Structure 1
Amino acid sequence: MSRGMETDGADALVAAVVAGDADAVRELLGQGVDPDTPEESGLPVLCRAVAAYDAPVAEALVKGGADPDRVLPDGTTPLERAIDGGSPAVFSAVLGAEPRLRLPEDARERLLGRARHWYETGVAEELRRRTGASGPATTVRVQDDEYDEIDQVSLGGLVVRAGHAGILSSLEWAFRVLPPVEELIDRAIEQPDEHDANWWAVLWALLQRRSHEAWSAVVAHRHGPSDAHRRFVLEYLRVRALTATGEEPYEEWDTAFLADWAAEEPDGETLAKVLDAFTNYDHPDQEAIGLRHAGHPDPRVRREVPYALCTKYEPRSPAAREALRTLTRDPDAEVRLAACTGAMRDDGLRADATRALLLLLKEPEASLRASAAERLATSGDRAPAVADALAALLDDGDQNVLLEAGYGLARRDDPRTADAIERVGRLSDLHPDDHRVSALWRWEWERKQATAGQ
């Protein structure tokens, strides 16, 4: 690469980082642009991404070769700046691969000490110490990543996010430092919100600890002093179920524990969450537990029952089949929708499910109409009434409902698919990886091919 090209590439990389364009950053790094390119201040562009709380760009830079341990003129490193910034998302992006092997012991201890100091001192107090400001701090809730939020604290002209509980917990796991489980859970529930970035970072650190001792210490908090303890245990078990491979011995621990909990839990909201986690596994008592709660007064519980009564969407027994049939007529629309999910693939229940879904297409809530249309679109019911109901949705003002209706018509090779394509708009403007869009593209292409061959 010539000097002029290097300069152009460096300028383009700085511009992409400033613009927050992670795709452009990856493309430029793939072309050989230096990932440690300095910006106008003389600092590497990684520092700009850290200061801007731009985790996707920071991740792209580090994965592209930017050095998170590079010593800067003030003696800090980009990784230390990420710790100071207090964003668990940015910290995770900058941490890099194999930090326990990459960093010497003294560096690891320094990083742990830095994170622990921020956490134990508190963001507002540390900002007062650094700035000398004595007034109150301003705290706002901001999005830290796609899913989680965090408090952002401003004082004396400095802005820092309050994610140091999560950062410390993540860093400890990265270095295989194992604090007591009780201490970790206390960090998480300081902000008793499942969408808090600290909560998730602590949860993920605990999920990595696969021993029975760690598991026992977590689930013991089912009987903790606050509702937040119980919610943390449930989220821990739910995520374990979602990430299970089918080989871990802890699945037996989880299912037995959740079965006992489901049999004893008096609170409807909590019981619904217990069943949600429980039905991610198979258990010998799963159907019995589902039948026990099929008539529960709380609709949130009844919404989970169909998943307990089905294995791979097929009812297990006549009793389960009859309970599902009853649930397809439940007063709660979401209960009916969940029951139909299990009933559609059962020959003896398909008619009941179809009737329920056709009624759900008339619900005022667009998400319910779209979900009902999705199930009808993929069902094996080829009755004209189903195709007519899907075609009637082409006057719906919701794009998602239109796509589901068009997809169902295309699967049936219904000529009204052409009208669906016209209603959803130019297919080229829609996401090409959407299976519904792909089906409409294919239907349209096949019609054109057939016409051309005549």
Structure 2
Amino acid sequence: MSAVRAGDAEAVRDLLSRGADPDAVDANGLPVLCVAVTAYDEQVAEALVEGGADPDRVLPDGTTPLGCAVDGGSPALFSAVLGKEPRLRLAEAARERLLASARSWYETGAAEELRRRTGAPGPAVTVRVQDGEYDWVDQVTLGGLVVRAGHGAILTALEWAFRVLTPVDELIARAVEQPDEEHVGWSTVCWILTERRSFETWSAVVAHRHDPERAHRRFVVDYLRMRGFLDTSPYYEKEEGEVLAAWAAEETDGEMLAKVLDAFTNRAHPGQEAIGLRHAGHPDPRVRREVPYALCATRTPAARAALRTLLRDPDAGVRLRACEASMRDGDLLPEITRALLLLAEAPDAGVRGEAVAALAGSPDRTPAVADALAALLGEDNQLVRLEAAYGLARRDDPRTAEAIERVGPLGAGFEHDHRVDEFWRWRWRKDNPDGE
């Protein structure tokens, strides 16, 4: 109970592995899983459920931990508590109750439902909070009660868990209520639709690329981008490449066109160079930033000429993308290096950071690059110093030892970092000059 209340998921897992009861209760008979649910602690809740805690245990008030997670409105917490095979595990009546609860919260709205339950007057207090590792959701407080307004995402996830095939148009309507790729409603709908791997679902989603509302078109791009990572079916890859090629030729909105090109250039398509050349002079720099990735594969005279122009583009972001995309083209490397050396001296710290990362990984081994990397070791940003030291280590530069010292101690999360690994390899090469 102490470990759960402290939010120490590692300690909870350790105690469970040593025989602790996952359904332990406090003095009031409240299971530890409910303590985690109330605290919105999805990591502890996940540890408990994986360790055998019963999400369907009926509590004295007739609810269950899973039902409480649905009410709480956090999709991350709900996913942690859902458990395995809910469609087979739960009776039909229990499934219907959970669906009805999620639907009621979603349709009524978190603030209005709290007002109905508490009778509290006045406005609710709403703040944005992180939910899970990547997403955000609104947290609503009224009348002493707190819920998160992620019930639409929970409803979507429950329907899929119970294999209720909600119409695609209805799901997309839920997603675009908050037109933000990092909102739990948007990301959950996108994920579930990629899981529904039927041609009917795919066609219904892709049809929204013609929608006059930008949010609908943005959703289609996000869906296709996610599918590009998850589904390697040659049939869909070809079909999606054709859809994106046609879309890139038709889209007039600069923001949308940039997103379409981003998704398009992640797929092999014979028309990439033509699309890149078509948009190389686009007035929107967001579009021009995506063009280099369409041009870098062919290395034709026309593509190289366009890339040379982009290497001198007035927008720093375009120049960076042109450098990164064409880095392995030996004919362009001298021009790429010149562009990166200038970018490494830019007044914008973010631009300098990207430039040093590109220089560190560049195949250019000239002294000018090594000197530029060494000059960046005085940056306040530790990640910039890390990239600079990494680039020097790759080149076996005599300043590497000092560079590593200038990086300073690195915190958690760098144990398997490729730059830190390169420091180890540099030390090994230094201590074993004969390769033995």
TM over 0.5: yes
Residue 18 of structure 1 and its aligned partner are, at CA, apart by: 1.8
Tell me, yes or no, if the aligned pair for 2:316 and 2:343 is still in contact at 8 Å: yes
Tell me, yes or no, if the aligned pair for 1:148 and 1:196 is still in contact at 8 Å: yes
Query: 1-side partners of 2:5 and 2:427: how far apart?
Result: 42
Tell me, yes or no, if the aligned pair for 2:12 and 2:48 is still in contact at 8 Å: yes
* More divergent stretch after superposition (30-39 vs 379-388): 30-39
Query: 2-side partners of 1:365 and 1:50: how far apart?
Result: 44
Q: Is 1:274 paired with 2:260?
A: yes
Matches within 5 A, 1:291-440: 291-311=277-297, 315-426=298-409, 431-440=414-423
Residue 367 of structure 1 and its aligned partner are, at CA, apart by: 2.8
Query: 1-side partners of 2:336 and 2:396: how far apart?
Result: 23
Query: 2-side partners of 1:98 and 1:428: how far apart?
Result: 39
What amino acid maps onto 1:360 in structure 2?
A: L
* More divergent stretch after superposition (147-156 vs 38-47): 38-47
Query: 2-side partners of 1:277 and 1:67: how far apart?
Result: 42
What amino acid maps onto 1:259 in structure 2?
A: A
What amino acid maps onto 1:47 in structure 2?
A: C
Query: 1-side partners of 2:196 and 2:401: how far apart?
Result: 54
Matches within 5 A, 1:199-278: 199-244=186-231, 246-247=232-233, 249-278=235-264
* Partner in structure 2 of residue 36 of structure 1: 23
Query: 2-side partners of 1:371 and 1:34: how far apart?
Result: 50
Tell me, yes or no, if the aligned pair for 1:20 and 1:57 is still in contact at 8 Å: yes
Query: 1-side partners of 2:381 and 2:349: how far apart?
Result: 7
Q: Secondary structure at the match of 1:159?
A: strand
| TM-aligned CA distance change 1:188 to 1:292, over 3 Å | same
What amino acid maps onto 2:53 in structure 1?
A: A
Query: 2-side partners of 1:158 and 1:248: how far apart?
Result: 50
What amino acid maps onto 2:172 in structure 1?
A: I
The C-alpha deviation readout for 1:65-100, integer Å capped at 9, x for no partner, is 222112122211111000000111111111112211
| TM-aligned CA distance change 1:40 to 1:292, over 3 Å | farther
Tell me, yes or no, if the aligned pair for 1:287 and 1:316 is still in contact at 8 Å: no
Query: 1-side partners of 2:155 and 2:212: how far apart?
Result: 24
Query: 2-side partners of 1:355 and 1:95: how far apart?
Result: 55
Query: 1-side partners of 2:413 and 2:151: how far apart?
Result: 40
Residue 125 of structure 1 and its aligned partner are, at CA, apart by: 2.4
Query: 2-side partners of 1:373 and 1:415: how far apart?
Result: 18
What amino acid maps onto 1:303 in structure 2?
A: R
| TM-aligned CA distance change 1:414 to 1:430, over 3 Å | farther
The C-alpha deviation readout for 1:351-382, integer Å capped at 9, x for no partner, is 11111111111122333222222222222211
Query: 1-side partners of 2:205 and 2:181: how far apart?
Result: 16
Structural RMSD (CA): 2.0
The C-alpha deviation readout for 1:143-192, integer Å capped at 9, x for no partner, is 22222111122222111111111100110001110111111111112222
* More divergent stretch after superposition (206-215 vs 276-285): 206-215
1:83 to 58, 62, 70: 70
1:196 to 174, 177, 183: 183
Query: 2-side partners of 1:183 and 1:428: how far apart?
Result: 45
Tell me, yes or no, if the aligned pair for 2:36 and 2:45 is still in contact at 8 Å: yes
* More divergent stretch after superposition (282-291 vs 425-434): 425-434
Tell me, yes or no, if the aligned pair for 2:214 and 2:256 is still in contact at 8 Å: no
What amino acid maps onto 1:420 in structure 2?
A: A
What amino acid maps onto 1:239 in structure 2?
A: M
Aligned identity (percent) is: 69
Q: Secondary structure at the match of 2:241?
A: helix
Q: Is 1:110 paired with 2:112?
A: no
Q: Is 1:94 paired with 2:81?
A: yes
**Unmatched runs of 5 consecutive residues or more in structure 2:** none
**TM-score, normalised with respect to structure 2:** 0.94
2:165 to 162, 178, 187: 178
State the number of aligned residues.
434
Query: 2-side partners of 1:294 and 1:24: how far apart?
Result: 55
* Partner in structure 2 of residue 6 of structure 1: none
Query: 2-side partners of 1:266 and 1:293: how far apart?
Result: 11
Matches within 5 A, 1:116-131: 116-131=103-118
